Amino acid sequence: DSGVTQTPKHLITATGQRVTLRCSPRSGDLSVYWYQQSLDQGLQFLIQYYNGEERAKGNILERFSAQQFPDLHSELNLSSLELGDSALYFCASSVGWRGGGTDTQYFGPGTRLTVL
């Protein structure tokens, strides 16, 4: 158990809908990262937050957005869902964000999203 929690574990919805995925980082971690993993594909970095502020963006679609709240939990919002959005969505957390001693990222159990 990494200490990172994600809810829900599974989510089934229809095309065009909107969903929210939730993540709580490990105690003491200030950074939260979101990743997408489609079937037989590698982990794709979506976005990073540090202490409530967006720090880095990856291949995140405009239909997707995220935020990190004052209690450091984060939410990933996916809207206008398409069949191709079906994937495992992982959240990871780390202590900080600066280099010179890269922070190890610890992953949550993931949310499996199925869009029908």
Partner 1 sequence: GQNIDQPTEMTATEGAIVQINCTYQTSGFNGLFWYQQHAGEAPTFLSYNVLDGLEEKGRFSSFLSRSKGYSYLLLKELQMKDSASYLCAVSLQFSGGYNKLIFGAGTRLAVHP
Q: Report the interface residues with partner 1, using CB under 8 A.
A: 2, 4, 33, 41-45, 48, 50, 55-56, 58, 88, 90, 97-100, 102-110, 112
> Which CB atom, from 4 or from 81, has the smaller least distance to partner 1?
4
Q: In one letter, which amino acid is 30? A: L
Q: Which is nearer to partner 1, 75 or 97 (by Cβ)?
A: 97
Whole-angstrom CA distances from 93 to 14, 27, 47 are 29, 10, 12
All residues at 6 or more sequence positions from 45 whose CB lies less than 8 Å from its CB, including other chains? 33, 34, 35, 56, 58, 59
Is 6:108 a contact under the CB 8 Å cutoff?
yes
CB atoms within 10 A of CB 10: 9
CB of 64 to partner 1, least distance (A): 17
Nearer to partner 1, 61 or 95 (CB): 95
Q: Which is nearer to partner 1, 25 or 110 (CB)?
A: 110
Closest contact distance (angstroms) between CB of 16 and partner 1 is: 27
With beta carbons less than 8 A apart as the criterion, state whether 9 and 91 touch: no
Smallest separation, CB 28 to partner 1 (Å): 16
Nearest approach, Cβ of 42 to partner 1 (angstroms)? 4
